[in-house]
Structure formats: structure tokens, C-alpha cells
Amino acid sequence: MPRFPVLSRPRPGRLLLLAGLLALVGLLALAVAACGDAAPELTAPAGISSSSSAASSASSASSAPGTSAEPVLAPELTVTLFDGTVFNLAEHLSRDGRPVLLHLWGVECPTCREQMPYLDEASRRHPEVLFLGVSVQDDPATAAACAADEGFSYPLGADPDGTVAAAFTCPELPAIFLIGSDGTLLGAVYGSLSPDDIESLVTDYLAG
């Protein structure tokens, strides 16, 4: 009669090791998924006090994760948009009331310009939030031409002398500042962001 190879039974120790490895892989996958869904952590911009804010009184709203416990109001913000109109934060909050995502960018900043289509897409998905882009220390005509070439739908303007950037104590570009409907400066995020990062910022801190 033909002989068949005798299969050895797995040792209990090996089975336990395999089970442990599979469990570890599962935990790592869950951790990666959780990190991918979380919004980037906001930082509290330094040097901004409520005395220079656009709103008239301090907010009692809770501060966002990663910011200081004491609510801080956004600085006064007035900027001329590329369409010739003037945006004033205090007037916007009193008349319109939508929270604001402020994006500070520069013509010569590749990362800034890379983010702008992502912001445009997010602005279309979230009309309940006002997206505002401000070019910092650029020639207004050059910045306007740059934006026009891309056909962005959200309002954009210029800060040619850096007044807005100084008021928000912006250390680098690009920078995103989140401002609540009550004028509270929820926090800031600097550097490169993916479309998912921007979506998480809006849904976690501004929308709804």
C-alpha cells in the first residue's frame, strides 16, 4: 500500500505565538485607522489676547483640544478682497454669523498653493463655514492673478504689508486659523495638510 506523509501537529506554543501576532496586527491596523480619522491637533497662537479681538466680549465656549484653557478671541481682521469688496471679521460675525476658516498663503509658497484646491473643494461641501484666503506680503495684483488662474470659489484677498499675519502672530506659511461663530480663535494649524486633514478640521471644529 502507498505510504502517505504523516503531518505533524502544530505545537501549542506555536499556535499561541501565531494568535498573538495576529492580534498585534489587528491592533496596529485599528490604531492606524483611528489616526487617519482624527483631525490635526490645533495649536494656540502665541501673543494674541482678547483685548485686540474682533468681538466685544470673551466667549464662554470650551476651547479646542491642544489650545489653552482660557478662550481667546480672534484679532481684528479687515482685508480687501480681490473683487474689490472689504471683508471685516466683526461685521461678518454680527451679520452672517458663520464660523471662519482663515488660510494665510503666499504666491511663492508651493505648499500653500497645493492646499488651495483642497480648501476650495471643502468650501463647496461646507457652505455653513466661510473660507477666507489671504495672501501675505505679496503684490495684490500678482496674488489676484494667481488665484484667478485656478478659479477658486471662496473669497480671497491680500495682506501686502503683513498686518493680518502679524495680528495672528503667524510664524510660517501656510497657516490655517479657525474662528468660531462667537469670535473665539479656536486654534491654528501650520504646514502641509491633506484633503482629509482639512475635512476633519472643518467637521470637528467648525461645522454643525
The CATH homologous superfamily to which domain 50-206 belongs is Glutaredoxin (3.40.30.10)
Q: What is the average per-residue pLDDT within 7-34?
A: 49
- Residues of the chain above pLDDT 90, percent: 63
Predicted TM-score (pTM) above 0.85:
no
Dmax of the chain from CA atoms?
Answer: 97
Cα–Cα distance measured from residue 117 to residue 149, given in angstroms and rounded to the nearest whole number: 12
Q: pLDDT tens-digit profile of 39-57?
A: 677 776 655 554 444 544 3
Q: pLDDT tens-digit profile of 111-131?
A: 999 999 999 999 999 999 999
Name the pLDDT band for 71 (thresholds 50, 70, 90): confident
Residue 28 clears pLDDT 60, i.e. is over it: no
Residue 147 clears pLDDT 50, i.e. is over it: yes
pLDDT at residue 87, rounded to an integer: 98
Cα–Cα distance measured from residue 94 to residue 177, given in angstroms and rounded to the nearest whole number: 19
pLDDT at residue 4, rounded to an integer: 47
Read off the amino acid at residue 132.
L
Q: CA nearest 201: which of 101, 95, 52, 94?
A: 101
Cα–Cα distance measured from residue 103 to residue 122, given in angstroms and rounded to the nearest whole number: 13
Residue 47, classed as helix, strand or coil, is: coil
Q: What is the average per-residue pLDDT within 61-77?
A: 65
Cα–Cα distance measured from residue 135 to residue 62, given in angstroms and rounded to the nearest whole number: 30
- Residues of the chain above pLDDT 70, percent: 68
Q: pLDDT tens-digit profile of 149-202?
A: 899 999 999 999 999 999 999 999 999 999 999 999 999 999 999 999 999 999
Burial of 126: CB neighbours in 10 Å, binned 0-12, 13-18, 19+: buried
pLDDT at residue 29, rounded to an integer: 41
Cα–Cα distance measured from residue 115 to residue 198, given in angstroms and rounded to the nearest whole number: 9
Name the pLDDT band for 3 (thresholds 50, 70, 90): low
Cα–Cα distance measured from residue 120 to residue 154, given in angstroms and rounded to the nearest whole number: 6
Where in the chain are the domains? Answer: 7-37, 50-206
Q: pLDDT tens-digit profile of 88-117?
A: 999 999 999 999 999 999 999 999 999 999
Inter-axis angle of helices 140-150 and 110-125, to 10 degrees?
Answer: 50
